Structures are given as structure tokens and as C-alpha cells.
């Protein structure tokens, strides 16, 4: 698809998604003045990637949200799900 065709087809949908992100950030602020947990810290870094030049933004954001270590953890006992961002030692509230 041409650049113009992509914009014509998807602009309205992604305008709405952009507003969802903006409203989500507002909602977080309204929830109190305490600092971000590791997920929101990662989210804000990911939002900054959106404004960077070049393609592969989806890939770069996924990498930014990934566990960067390369050795297996000692045990998965009691762990099933994932958080969506790498705690890096912290655990979510």
C-alpha cells in the first residue's frame, strides 16, 4: 500500500488508539502523585520510541519491554504469568 493509502485506511483507528494512550496516562496521574512502577517506567520509554525516526518501532518497543538477561532462572515454581515489562529485580506492587 502507498503511504497515502495507509493513512487513508488506518488514520482514524490509530487516532483513537493514540487518545486511549493519552487518556490512560492522564488516568495514572489522577490516581496519585507517587512514582511509576517498573511497568510505567518502561511504558514511558516506549512512548518516546514512537517519536524516534526510522522503521522497526514495534520491534524496538518489544525489545525495550523484554528481559535482557540470557541465563535460565533457577525456578519457575509459583510463577505462571508475565508482567508485560521486565522488573529487573523489582516485583510489581
Residue 82: how many CB atoms within 10 A of its CB? 8
Please state the closest distance from residue 72 (CB atom) to another protein, in A: 5
Please state the closest distance from residue 57 (CB atom) to another protein, in A: 9
Please state the closest distance from residue 64 (CB atom) to another protein, in A: 9
10 Å CB burial of residue 43 (0-12, 13-18, 19+) is buried
Q: At what angle do helices 3-30 and 38-50 cross, to 10 degrees?
A: 150
Q: Which residues bind another protein (CB under 8 A)?
A: 1, 9-10, 56, 58-59, 62-63, 65-70, 72-77, 79-86
Amino acid at each position: 500500500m502507498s503511504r497515502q493509502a495507509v493513512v487513508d485506511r488506518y488514520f482514524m483507528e490509530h487516532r483513537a488508539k493514540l487518545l486511549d494512550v493519552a487518556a490512560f496516562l492522564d488516568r495514572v496521574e489522577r490516581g496519585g502523585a507517587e512514582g511509576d512502577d517498573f511497568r510505567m517506567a518502561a511504558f514511558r520509554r516506549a512512548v518516546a520510541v514512537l517519536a524516534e525516526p526510522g522503521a522497526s518501532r514495534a520491534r524496538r518497543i518489544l525489545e525495550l519491554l523484554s528481559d535482557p538477561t540470557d541465563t535460565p532462572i533457577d525456578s519457575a515454581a509459583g510463577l505462571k504469568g508475565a508482567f508485560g515489562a521486565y522488573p529487573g529485580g523489582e516485583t510489581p506492587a
